[in-house]
Amino acid sequence: MPSVDRHAFFTPDFLAQLERLTLASRRVFRGRVKGERKSPRRGHSVEFCDYRAYGVGDDLRYVDWNAYGRLDRLHVKLFVDEEDLCLHLLLDASASMDFGRPTKLEYGAKLAAALGFVGLVGLERVGVGILRERAAEGWAPTRGRNQFPALLDFLTGVAPAGPTRLNEAMAAYALRSRESGLAVVISDLLDPAGYEAGLRALLERRFDVHLIHLLDPEEMNPELSGDFRLTDAETGEVQELSVDREAIRAYREKLHAFLERAETLCRAQEIGYHRVITDTPVEEFVLSQLKGLVLA
């Protein structure tokens, strides 16, 4: 991907709107440091959670003396602790993503940058995994809005290359991650071997998974007619094809089945599924269409 001036990547107005968003997670995760999200650990925030019997060494400041007066037994108050969430942005950068204008990779990187900004300004940790035939590289989870320029530099430096092995790449990322969290997979899902096992690997490691499915306008509505020699961007395989009305009809049927399979799988596995055509402005998609992933 060509280098992008980070100062012109997003408008100030869009960044201001992103600052008002928060990431939505359907699970509660253990974080590493204090943040703004409910944790499964018990702490001493302002939100009451439960009681437990007093034990030797407990802080007397948290003893409920009213309960002691009623029950003649010491109990301490428990409160919801607040910790940070880890956002894992998993971006497909295989050769099939180098298609369209903007390319699907350029669109996906911009989308990942927007979500990363929401996480960083919300005091969450944000990491990136690049998916090709394996999880080949990444940007380690980092916290703080001052990390956004470095995140943007990393994302805009990713180039499309190599074959797609989504199952292997997602499974490898899930295994090597030190902690689970909110995983957002951004991909066109064009892998002959599928992607289902990779998504299940993330679920088995207790990630809260969302899938953003990218499609180019030409993939949705091809305007082709005549004889073509097509070369697979990833394998180099060449295939000759005659495109007529019947071929377009068969293509549309297969495309419908492909999209239906992805959406049905996600619904059955409680994975958030978000489909977007890359002629939709990233700003519009993030602010209006990512229901269940970001909250205003």
- The pLDDT, as a whole number, for residue 247 is 83
Contact 113, 102 (CB under 8 A): no
Confidence at 159, pLDDT banded by 50, 70, 90: very high
Confidence at 34, pLDDT banded by 50, 70, 90: very low
- The pLDDT, as a whole number, for residue 31 is 46
- The pLDDT, as a whole number, for residue 36 is 47
- The pLDDT, as a whole number, for residue 8 is 65
Q: 8-22, 75-89, 108-122, 278-292: which range is least confident on average?
A: 75-89
Other residues' Cβ atoms within 10 Å of the Cβ of residue 11: 10
The candidate with the shortest Cα–Cα distance to 145, out of 15, 34, 290, 296, is: 15
**Can you tell me the mean pLDDT for 102-112?**
96
DSSP for 41-80, written as a single string: EEEEEEEEEEEEE--TT--GGGB-HHHHHHHSS-EEEEEE
The structural domains of the chain, with segments of one domain joined by +, span 6-28+84-295, 34-83
Q: Convert the pLDDT of each residue in 237-252 to its tens digit.
A: 777 777 778 888 988 9
**Can you tell me the mean pLDDT for 198-220?**
96
**Can you tell me the mean pLDDT for 16-34?**
72
CA-based Rg of the chain, rounded to a whole angstrom?
A: 23
CATH 3.40.50.1970 fits 6-28+84-295, yes or no: no
Q: Convert the pLDDT of each residue in 52-77 to its tens digit.
A: 676 666 667 767 788 778 888 887 66
Task: Decide if pLDDT at 6 tops 70.
Answer: no
- The pLDDT, as a whole number, for residue 285 is 97
**Can you tell me the mean pLDDT for 268-278?**
96
Helix boundaries (H) for the chain: 6-9, 12-19, 65-71, 104-121, 148-156, 166-176, 196-204, 217-220, 245-269, 282-284
- The pLDDT, as a whole number, for residue 198 is 97
Distance of CA 52 to the CA centre of its chain: 37
- The pLDDT, as a whole number, for residue 56 is 62
Average pLDDT, the chain: 84
Task: Decide if pLDDT at 210 tops 90.
Answer: yes
- The pLDDT, as a whole number, for residue 39 is 41
